[in-house]
């Protein structure tokens, strides 16, 4: 019986006639054909051009003195330039990982052939034969899957990488990314992790040790198995001799040297001054259009207005829990504080919260936190009124008044009939402020407030603005910038952290440009300052008073507004010396029946402000304001008030005796 021919029988007969090497050659040819059809488009779609941009270089933050203050980065590996990598380490890695690195074009065909035959004999993939370029591709652009499909992808992409980058660039990218164990990615971190050294300090023996870790960083790790790590190091040295990088004497010396391992300390500048750094990053993104990824990876040099001494003082104060109001619930009382130079607008120091910090999280020094309360009064209505022709000695109504449906109250529900403006400010009396705001006009007040830097969308309210009843919250930064107008003779400079940004290669990128503008007259600024000096000397801000130091400032708080509870949700103090402005807010991120402040701003924020200012002003020259102080007027008024009280007391006594006399006769 004749056997029926099956399909492709000719192919089977042909294969039988072929030698094994011919079968292998056929399979390789088919693989190459498959690569041309499928892998090349895949390779061209990979982010090969982005490989080099992924090298992470930390942004360095400099203080106002030009000293390194902090560093910030995102990636696990930190890049170094090729020139910074010692020659001994480069030679060690090439000798053990890819000794034909400078001869091949991304793929070592001899190595692939050797690995292919080894895998055929084993019946599984046991050897990769990968070059340094292929390892870079596998680690950065592909998965760790072991398959011929992925190997072909690696093959074509590696060749494409070699066409786009020089050998030095490939080595740099590889050595900055490869894992050395113990959480150390890249040669810089590896040198610190195992030897507590900078790259340039590595010996030949230490370079060989690091190169040996690449194959199996967990099992060859000297902290896990010192003998295995040393044996691997010696193998690297022998390979270096074999390929002509060192001679026999150098090899023997490096083999016989006693190895010691020591983990270096983390960079003390990493993560330092976190809230200030956050403010710098936000300013760079919002004002100069840099992306966060650029700021965390491209090695920018940012020169700032930071005063490291002031920053240390404000941070140490915020570590003292005892000085803050006690917590009424499970969430902590929060706070934000900022210090700035009123003349330049430079932010000298800030803290944006208590407790754990989150990168670019809620920064209560520069983000809106609450209504400003009575800290708004010096701006609306008093600065606006004085600018319109009023004087700080003018008498203002202090009576129970209604303005349409709006009927404000004094805090203690007591009314004096009329008071001089400075006394209304010193004791933060509500009705005179509202009455005066009504007199000068709401629109006039809003216009002045906008010139002070208060955001327009915050000023949607009516007469309640005189008591800080804004439609939206404000930040300590906004209030500090506003009060800088008083300290700076009526002129305002925009608050900022950044002086200059340079690129990694030290090229200028951007520079701060002054935007100083006149907001009010110097005479108006001085009259307000005179009243605010009285607040600290005699009024609600006495808890912020420092002996021998002239501080002008204002307290502020907002009522809780929950029926049946007496307390506040926001507490403020904004104050200044001739050359330093500070603003502090204390409160809960969200107030409710279980989370509110039971003290006043006089008890809550003013003492914290005082402690910070005592520290930052220590050893500084004593400065005074060149203003006509209201001390004499206030003291004279107090004496007259005391005399009047004495006269009233005598009059009442005489009246009482007179009544007793007539009662006796009756």
Name the residues annotated as catalytic.
97, 374
The H-assigned helical ranges of 289-410 are: 292-297, 308-318, 384-387
Judged by DSSP in three states, 48 sits in: coil
Helix 132-141 / helix 167-177 crossing angle, nearest 10 deg? 50
Query: Concatenated DSSP letters for 157-211?
Result: HHHHHHHHS-HHHHHHHHHHH-B-STT-BSHHHHHHHHHS--GGG--HHHHHHHH
Distance between CA atoms of residues 614 and 323, nearest Å = 14
Three-class SS of residue 105?
coil
Q: Give the Cα separation of 388 and 369 in Å (integer).
A: 31
Considering only CA atoms, which of 588, 587, 586, 590 is closest in space to residue 612?
586
DSSP strands (E only) in 390-438 = 395-398, 417-420
CA dist., res. 144 & res. 261, Å (int):
30
**Could you tell me the two tokens for 470?**
């804004």
Quote the Cα angle for 7-8-12, to 5°: 130
Q: Report yes or no: 308 and 269 within 8 Å, Cβ to Cβ.
A: no
CA 635, 641, 643, 648: dihedral to nearest 10 degrees?
Answer: -170
* Pair 148, 109: CB distance under 8 Å: no
| Whether 43 contacts 280, CB under 8 Å | no
DSSP 261-310: --PPPP-TTBT-SHHHHHHHHHHHHHHH---HHHHHHB--EEEE---HHH
Residue 296's nearest CA partner among 550, 74, 527, 459 is: 74
Half-sphere exposure of 586 (CA within 13 A, CB side): 31
Chain-centre distance for alpha carbon 363? 8
Structure tokens at 236: 């690297």
For 96-152, list the strands marked E by DSSP: none
Tell me the CA distances in angstroms from 57 to 38, 161, 276, 586, one per residue in order: 36, 22, 20, 37
Please report which helix (H) or strand (E) contains residue 502, including its range.
Answer: strand 498-502
- Give the chain's length: 666
The helix (run of H) or strand (run of E) holding residue 71 is strand 68-72
- Please say whether the beta carbons of 43 and 156 come within 8 A: yes
Determine whether 45 is exposed, middle or buried from the number of CB atoms within 10 Å of its CB (0-12, 13-18, 19+): exposed
């Amino acid at each position: 019986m004749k056997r029926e021919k099956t399909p492709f029988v000719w192919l089977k007969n042909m294969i039988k006639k072929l030698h094994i090497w011919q079968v292998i050659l056929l399979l390789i040819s088919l693989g190459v054909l498959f690569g041309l059809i499928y892998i090349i488009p895949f390779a061209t779609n990979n982010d090969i051009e982005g490989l080099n941009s992924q090298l992470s270089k930390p942004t360095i933050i400099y203080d106002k003195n030009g000293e390194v203050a902090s560093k910030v980065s995102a990636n696990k590996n930190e890049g170094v330039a090729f020139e910074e990598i010692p020659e001994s380490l480069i030679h060690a890695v090439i000798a053990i990982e890819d000794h034909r690195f400078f001869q091949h074009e991304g793929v070592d065909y001899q190595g692939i052939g050797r690995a292919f035959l080894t895998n055929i004999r084993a019946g599984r993939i046991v050897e990769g034969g990968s070059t340094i370029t292929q390892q870079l591709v596998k680690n950065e652009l592909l998965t760790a899957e072991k398959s011929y499909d992925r190997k072909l992808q690696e093959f074509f992409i590696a060749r494409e990488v070699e066409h786009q980058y020089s050998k030095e660039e490939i080595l740099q990218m590889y050595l900055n990314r490869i894992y050395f164990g113990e959480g150390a990615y890249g040669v810089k971190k590896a040198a610190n992790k195992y030897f507590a050294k900078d790259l340039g300090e590595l010996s030949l023996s230490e370079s060989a040790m690091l190169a040996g870790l690449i194959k199996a960083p967990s099992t060859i790790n000297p902290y896990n198995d010192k003998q295995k790590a040393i044996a691997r190091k010696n193998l690297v040295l022998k390979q270096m001799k074999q390929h002509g990088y060192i001679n026999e004497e150098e090899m023997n010396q490096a083999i016989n040297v006693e190895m010691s391992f020591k983990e270096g300390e983390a960079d003390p500048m990493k993560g330092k001054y976190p809230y200030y750094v956050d403010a710098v990053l936000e300013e760079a993104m919002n004002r100069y259009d840099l992306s966060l990824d650029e700021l965390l990876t491209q090695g920018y040099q940012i020169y700032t207005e930071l005063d490291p001494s002031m920053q240390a003082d404000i941070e140490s104060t915020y570590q003292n829990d005892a000085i803050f109001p006690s917590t009424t619930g499970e969430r902590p009382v929060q706070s934000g504080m900022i210090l700035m130079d009123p003349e330049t607008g430079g932010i000298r120091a800030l803290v944006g919260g208590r407790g754990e910090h989150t990168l670019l999280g809620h920064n209560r020094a520069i983000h809106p936190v609450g209504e400003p309360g009575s800290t708004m009064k010096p701006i609306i209505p008093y600065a606006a009124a004085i600018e319109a022709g009023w004087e700080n000695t003018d008498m203002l109504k202090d009576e129970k008044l209604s303005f349409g449906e709006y009927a404000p109250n004094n805090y203690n529900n007591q009314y004096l009939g009329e008071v001089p403006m400075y006394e209304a400010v010193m004791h933060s009396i509500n009705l005179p402020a509202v009455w005066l705001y009504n007199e000068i006009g709401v629109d006039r007040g809003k216009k002045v407030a906008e010139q002070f830097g208060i955001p327009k969308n915050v000023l949607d309210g009516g007469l309640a603005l005189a008591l800080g009843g804004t439609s939206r919250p404000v930040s300590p930064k906004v209030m500090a910038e506003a009060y800088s107008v008083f300290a700076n003779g009526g002129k305002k400079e925009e608050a900022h952290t950044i002086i200059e940004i340079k690129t990694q290669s030290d090229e200028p990128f951007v520079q701060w440009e002054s935007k100083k503008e006149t907001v009010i007259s110097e005479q108006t600024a001085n009259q307000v300052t005179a009243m605010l000096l009285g607040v600290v000397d005699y009024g609600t801000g006495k808890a912020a008073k420092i002996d021998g130091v002239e501080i002008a400032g204002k307290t502020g708080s907002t009522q809780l507004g929950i029926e049946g509870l007496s307390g506040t949700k926001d507490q403020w103090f904004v104050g200044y010396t001739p050359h330093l402005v500070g603003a502090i807010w204390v409160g809960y991120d969200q107030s409710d029946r279980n989370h509110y402040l039971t003290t006043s701003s006089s008890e809550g924020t003013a003492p914290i402000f005082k402690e910070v200012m005592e520290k930052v002003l220590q050893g500084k020259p004593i400065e005074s304001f060149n203003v006509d102080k209201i001390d004499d007027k206030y003291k004279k008024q107090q004496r007259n008030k005391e005399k009047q009280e004495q006269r009233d007391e005598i009059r009442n006594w005489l009246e009482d005796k007179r009544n007793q006399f007539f009662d006796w006769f009756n």
